[in-house]
Structure formats: structure tokens, C-alpha cells
Structure 1
């Protein structure tokens, strides 16, 4: 049975910390719903109503476009190891782009050794509902590690190549919604 909560509780935080993957879904108006799998390596619980992740350069920027359009967003965690559980964090996303004051403050707080290669924005979810459900149908999987492919790709592109790629691929969603991205 699903249970709803007003905020992230200690048990939810512990569950999130044990996961290796989460899924982030977003939409705005009549746009397509976008769902992306993400490593929890860059996911941070900021407080009991706010989470954020450092988003690395990718082929699209649907979440930024949906956030700019005031769209809804959901972060979902599934237990693939141990007792079954699904945890969803519902709310509205906002995006702080690379170079902005908020982005720089986030990096200073969570990445003292410096900006990870390929980083492009921070996606923050302001939570209005937390929900758990049984997860009985979620299969079990064993985590064997992170893929180095994106890091290798970013390293090969270099800073100027990444900047050019973001200008080419990250200015609008697949539905033509503007992302608000501007390289600082």
C-alpha cells in the first residue's frame, strides 16, 4: 500500500543513500514526459523538502525546458537490492546553470575538490509530496559499478568541445521548449 508523507523522513534519507540509481521524470503542458535514469553519485538531499543533483552534459536538456515552463517533476528510487520499496519525491524542478551564483554555491558546498568534468547545471526539486509503495514487482539487480563512458566522452571533448556541444544540443527540448541555457 502506498503511504504519503509531507517531507523526507530519516528512513527515506537512509533509503536514498543506499541506492545507486534514481529516475527523474518531468513534463510541462502538452510536452512529452521525459524520464531519465541517473546515478546517485551526484544526488544530494539538501533538507527535508529539497533535493538536488548535479546534471552532466548530455544529448538533451528536457528537464531544464520543463522546469523553465513551470513543469512538474518526480524523482523515483527503487530498491533493486534488499527489501522491496519504491520512493517517489513529487514537486517542481528548477535549474541553476553553470556559472550562476547558485550553481557556484552548490559546487562549493558539495564538490570542494572542484567542478566535475562535463557538469552543466544543478537541478533542484522543491518537494510537495513524498510517497512510498511496496515495490514487490521490482526485480532484483546487483550493482557492479559506474560506467565511465560519459566521463571519457567529456574528457575527449574537452572544455571547449563541451561548450560547443551544449550550445548545439541543449538550448531547446525535443518539443521546442527553450531551456534557458546560457553558457556563463
Structure 2
């Protein structure tokens, strides 16, 4: 299921098959902004809308996904109690500022503490995928080199004739990055592209 299209259908009051690219993109911004703790001011600025419309989006979002609000609230409570957050792979990040008497420090720490388990887990997965990909590429006789990590993407250079094989290796490495370490409840879906440069590969 495309979560961004589903959210767009709720926010804009249309059927899912009627969601256009601009609506989906707005819903994607809403999805990421809210789970990372952004409020109506920030969301209004990101979407170029007024605060009342941003508030309506936020209210509609949490009415559709009440479990997200519950997860956010319980995650913040736990982080404040423990003084740290934990990724799905067990990596901790301290957040002593959650109990600061300074309201600005507390609020900034709360936004970061919401973000840390999500972005931290994504970073863990990407790093594990890089390790798996590098090991397999070194053994595959593909003359391939892992050049860059760009957010959640890996950029590999190889001869054109080996691109399909290298793409399959990358897909397997990325989709199986957490195997044996963490059971993910949703599969990792990976898109692979090739081209003479990064832009062309998209």
C-alpha cells in the first residue's frame, strides 16, 4: 500500500485512485513532518499554506492514524524516563534535555527524540546494507565499486554489461539488511536504476 497516496486521499477528501502527484507529494511532507514532531507553523511553511489549513491536515492525519499519535506520545514518555532513545537494532542516543527546565531545550529534544529511532534505524539499515553489498561485490567478479551513500541510496560504479547483476546484488543486500538482527514487520522495498550518471539512473 502506498501510505502517501492513502494519506492524500484522507487529507484531500478524494478516492485513492484520484490522488494526483501534487496531492501525494503534499501528503508525503505531512507524513514525514508529523512523525518528526513538526507543528502547524512548520507544516504551513513547508506546504505554503495558512496555519488553519495546516491544523486541519494535522487533525485529519491523527484522526486517520491515531496509533501514530499513541506511538509518539509513548515514545517520548519512555525517552524522558530512560534518558535515551533506541533504534530497532539496539543503538542508543542520549536525550537528557527531555527533562530540562528550559522549555526550548525540552521541545528541541522532544523533536529530536521522535526523529532518532526512525532516522537511526534507517541509518542502521543503510550501513548494514553497505557492508553486505561491499562484501558481495568484492566476491562477484563484477568489477564494481561502492562509491557513495546518498541518504537512503547506494551509488555503485560498474561496467555497463554488469549493471543488471550488480543491481540484483544491491537489491538483495538492501532488502535483507536486517536479517538475523531484527525482524521488520514490513518488507524493505528497493528500486534499482542504472545509467551513465546518477541523474540518468533515476
Tell me the TM-score range normalised by the shorter chain. under 0.3
| Structure number with higher strand proportion | 1
Higher relative contact order (CA 8 A, sep 6+): 1
Give the structure with the higher percent helix: 2
Higher radius of gyration, 1 or 2: 2
